[in-house]
Structure 1
Amino acid sequence: MDSSNISNATNKNNLNPCYFYSDILMFLQYALPVIYSLLFFFGLSLNAMVLFFIKFRTKHWTPSTIYMLNLTVCDILYVFTLPFFIYNWVNNWPFGEAFCRICGFFFEANHYGSILFLATISLHRFIGICYPVHSLSWNSTRRAKLVSVGVWACVLTSQAPVLYFAGIEDYDNSSYCYEIRNLTLSGAFLVYGSVISVGMFVLPFMLVMVCYGLMVRKLLEPSWGSGEGQQGLRAAHRTKQKSVKMIIIVLVTFLLCFLPYHLVIYCRYLALHHLEEMTCKMDEALLIATQVTWLMSSGNSIMDPILYFMAGQDFRKAMKKKKQKKSENTLPECANTVLTASL
């Protein structure tokens, strides 16, 4: 979470008292609220659509459905925090200390919840592709629910310290919401942030890379999917297509949305702990990088619905049935039109 007002980098307790008036920062000050407003609209709309299809159009729930539902909940709760931070960019924070900490907690919890559930979906798909026999007993809806509860417990517990670190600070007769409210906490925050980055991003990212590497090797085997007849080959082909789409979308999400953000955010952790070595040029560059990569990270709330729409069979089946019903309803009208024209 970085909700500092970018016209004045941060207050005297958090970073160097540098005043930034570069063209890039002035552009970001006006552009970012607009971009985040669009991100809020599309992120909320797409995830609400996914939630609708999962709730009302999915007849048979699978472990993938359960994981996707939890991922969608993470994204919806995440985008709900954006309007408050958008307001904090262009104005001061009027919502009080407690709400600042709660927003920071929800922001971070749902960010890392998205990462863990994407990793869980990848692991589930890996077991189904590489160990199809074992997956019959392992990948049950009951076990998926238990795994989801475990993921939420891990996320909420690990992000609980945010309620302690976050807070509001006064600067230039205004109040702003920060992820770390006082410089004296920078040492503890550096340790905490480093542990969270490794445990909640680096390890899940490595797990995803290993799973996908093994999945690709398995899918490229000539014998994979053979021996099941013509119908089995068609099913294997559909599975390959679905798996390839999921691999591409999840890897793009990790590489474009999450990786740059965590690299920059770790540099910010170090900067908070070594302020005496920071120059205003370095501070400005880090501020710009933080804002840009946070925008990229927030784009995850749009990438996840794309994962569902492109790789979800239930969605495509529902749309296909809807088109068929529409065609059946319009068929008599078309026939009447042709008959009238012939007369």
Structure 2
Amino acid sequence: MEEQNMLTTTADYDYGDTTTMQYDYDYDYDYEDELCNKTDVVHFGAIFNTSFFSVVVALSLLGNILVVVILAKYENIKSLINVFTLNLAVSDLIFTVGLPFWAYDQVNGWTLGETACKAVNFVFYVGFYSSGILVIMMTIHRYVAVARPLSNLVSDTKGFYGILASIVIWTVSPVLASPAVIFYKVMEQDLRMYCDYEDHYWKLWGTYQQNVLFVLTLLIVCFCYTQILCRLYRPNAQRRRHKTLNLIFTLVVVFFVGWAPYNIVIFLRSISLHPQPAVDSATMSKTCESYSKPLDYAFYVSRFLAFSHCCLNPVFYAFVGVKFQSHMKRMLKGWGRHRRNSIPRRSTRLTITSITSGEEFSF
């Protein structure tokens, strides 16, 4: 009897899918199992993700499409910073494409076939990694612009560095996302289809790859902005110091608050994919209630905060700039003038018609 109560396999101890980009169904468990019933966790994830990701998708589409339109209509697209901003908007739009599919998957399971499974996850990972790479590049560019304002990297008007950066971004990010095409499969568990990495090794690879990207980005952001702040405290930088300090502080705080909890949670959840010591049923049940289930709830919340970057990036990397604000006002005024000009023409036509018909109307 004692041997029957012991859980000796890693699969028995696995508390759920630890891939950082997949919704957590915890297919390694029977939800009716008294040891670790996670039905409430799955229901929470379905409601939470569907509701909040709908908002993220709407705001991301609005903000990033506006960025693309403004850049195409008013800006010199060869400028390096504009190339970065355009690529970031495109990257966020690509990232956003995958969210509705995952919201559907969370509620209904994966019913779209294996080709769609691979394609959706590949596109999503491309958007994820390209966005991270772009944040690194834009941070370095800001540092160079302050430290060496006469550098060719800052004054390039022919678009050479922009083309080079674009090639790097859209070459490296598909390579990093390629495991999704090879190792994602549609599988069935508990009469429900799901799309996930077939092998635990690649789940760990995906998790630690994103942890490394976060740590690298955090180090570069901290170093570059620290150097920028040191230069802003020079006497000749007094005039714009306050506004720039506020912007830098906001960027760092939003980046850290958004991505640090998420990366900590996915790292902690990846531990369950490693070989685990044998535990009895009482220990497993206690661990489920005190550790595994709270970690699953934290995963849903922290992932929402992290994935919200696709709708926050347009605000922090585009619309806070004076030029973008000016272009936005100009575009809105143009739409307003067009609307006002169209109304009198329609009113004049209607007034003539009413006179010829012998009837009087007020418009």
Q: Normalised by the shorter chain, which TM-score bucket? A: 0.7 to 0.9
- Please give the residue correspondences for 1:1-343 in structure 2 after superposition, counting only pairs within 5 Å: 1-5=21-25, 9-12=26-29, 18-22=36-40, 26-59=43-76, 61-135=78-152, 139=156, 141-178=159-196, 180-181=197-198, 185-191=199-205, 193-198=207-212, 200-224=213-237, 237=240, 240=241, 243-244=244-245, 246-274=247-275, 279-281=287-289, 282-321=291-330
How far apart in 2 are the matches of 1:137 and 1:318?
22
| Partners of 2:36 and 2:288 within 8 A in 1 | yes
How far apart in 2 are the matches of 1:115 and 1:36?
20
Which residue identity is paired with 1:29?
A
How far apart in 2 are the matches of 1:161 and 1:27?
29
Which residue identity is paired with 2:168?
G
Task: Give secondary structure in 2 for the equivalent of 1:10.
Answer: coil
| Partners of 1:264 and 1:289 within 8 A in 2 | yes
Number of residue pairs matched? Answer: 306
Task: Give secondary structure in 2 for the equivalent of 1:223.
Answer: helix
How far apart in 2 are the matches of 1:137 and 1:303?
25
Task: Give secondary structure in 2 for the equivalent of 1:176.
Answer: strand
Which residue identity is paired with 1:126?
Y
Which residue identity is paired with 1:247?
I
Task: Note the aligned Cα RMSD (angstroms).
Answer: 2.9
| Partners of 1:50 and 1:308 within 8 A in 2 | no
Normalised by the size of structure 1, how large is the TM-score?
0.79
CA deviation map 1:255-303 (0-9, x unaligned)? 1222221221122222222466774233322221221111111110111
Give the % identical residues. 23
Unaligned runs of 5+ in 1: 226-235, 331-343
1:168 to partner: Cα distance: 2.1
1:313 to partner: Cα distance: 3.2
Task: Give secondary structure in 2 for the equivalent of 1:3.
Answer: coil
Normalised by the size of structure 2, how large is the TM-score?
0.75
Which residue identity is paired with 1:259?
A
